[in-house]
Amino acid sequence: MSDGPGLTAAPGARPERRRLRYELAECALHGHRLVGTDAAAVRPADALIVREEPGGPRWHRCLRCDAWLPLPPPERPGRETPPGRDGIELPLRGRPLRDRYVLRLIALDRMLHCAVLTVLAVAVLVFARERERLRDPFYRFADALQTGVGGPTGAHGHGLLGDAERAFAAHGRTLWVIGAVLAAYALLEGVEAVGLWRARRWAEYLTFVATAVLLVPELYELTGHISVLKVLTLAINLAVVAYLLYAKRLFGLRGGGRAEAAVRAHDSGWEALERVYPGPGGGSAPAPDRTVAP
């Protein structure tokens, strides 16, 4: 099977540099984005997205990964011709598609934080309400455990039992405040996750500010006991802050929102499709995914 609708490489075309193609991954997960598959006829003006060879199959171009797929004309057409440009919503390509993958990776991290904090908040609030009822069973269990291993009675010392003893000794209002703070933080992380998953600009700013604020206590924690988890958490948050500030051009950096919109239009607009595969009158086009016109 050929790579396209009878097309040859443009004169002077050079091989495309090998790189990670997020478009291919997206098409593998969600399928190709084809248009005009239900059209009764193909016009010359549609050559950028669908072409028909005399006596041969109809070639449809994936608007995301630029692959050309041969399909027979529809037996029961749903429209006369393929839709015009105003009726086609182009999928993300290039850097905007890469950014969506990165933002969703950060969103998954925030979803995990939200889940953990929600469990902790519920646990603290339930403990604050049931503390008096749990006090006697806890101390009986602690005494039995300590006696069983030959230690002193009572939940004294360090470790988990010591932490539990301090929790039982804490003021009730303090526990409610801790639970409320954990719940609010979980809500914040959940809002960040939803906004980042939907690629909202406000979520990028919110995530940057919230993460940057947390860097201060994380750095302070490293002045005491250093652990692999603390170092890993700090490294991830530093990477998130650097990515949002530089790659997403927050606070006007590197041109700000206007430059971000220009990149989106350059990589995911009709100009990108015309640049890779010229339309009628633009010369011959390269074979999909192998060469590009200079």
Cβ 48 vs Cβ 84: under 8 Å: no
Q: Residue 202: pLDDT band by 50, 70, 90 thresholds?
A: very high
Q: Copy the structure tokens of residue 263.
A: 């990149």
- pLDDT confidence of 227, banded at 50, 70, 90? confident
- In this predicted structure, the answer to whether residue 219 has a pLDDT above a threshold of 60 is yes
Question: pLDDT category, 243, cuts 50, 70, 90?
Answer: very high
3-state secondary structure 234-257: HHHHHHHHHHHHHCCCHHHHHHHH
3-state secondary structure of 292: strand
**pLDDT band per the 50, 70, 90 thresholds, residue 138:** low
The ranges assigned to domains in the chain are 1-6+18-91, 98-187
Distances (CA, A) of 36 to 79, 83, 87, 137: 8, 7, 11, 71
Residue type (1 letter), 31:
G
Q: Around Cβ 59, how many Cβ atoms within 10 Å?
A: 22
Tell me the per-residue pLDDT of 29-65, one tens digit each, with 9 for 90 and over: 999 999 999 999 999 899 999 998 777 789 999 999 9
Q: What are phi and psi of 61, to 5 degrees?
A: -95, 130
Local confidence band at 286 (pLDDT 50, 70, 90 cut-offs): very low
Q: Are 277 and 66 contacting, i.e. CB atoms less than 8 angstroms apart?
A: yes
Both tokens of residue 16?
């495309």
Q: 36-45, 126-135, 193-202, 222-231: lowest mean pLDDT where?
A: 126-135
Per residue in 171-184, pLDDT (tens digit) is: 778 889 989 999 99
Structure tokens at 267: 């990589």
Look up the pTM and report it: 0.75
Lowest mean pLDDT among 9-23, 196-210, 222-236: 9-23
In this predicted structure, the answer to whether residue 294 has a pLDDT above a threshold of 80 is: no
Give the pLDDT of residue 21.
81
Please, where are the H alpha helices in the chain? 22-30, 94-148, 159-169, 172-197, 201-222, 228-246, 256-268, 270-276
Q: Are 137 and 155 in contact (CB under 8 A)?
A: no
Give the neighbor-by-neighbor strand order of the sheet with 50-52.
50-52, 58-61, 68-71
Q: What are phi and psi of 52, to 5 degrees?
A: -125, 125
Residue 119 pLDDT > 50: yes
Q: What is the mean pLDDT of the chain?
A: 81
pLDDT of residue 16 exceeding 90, the answer is no
User: Among 76, 28, 73, 32, which Cα is nearest to 51's?
Assistant: 73
Nearest to 95 by CA among 245, 269, 255, 251: 269
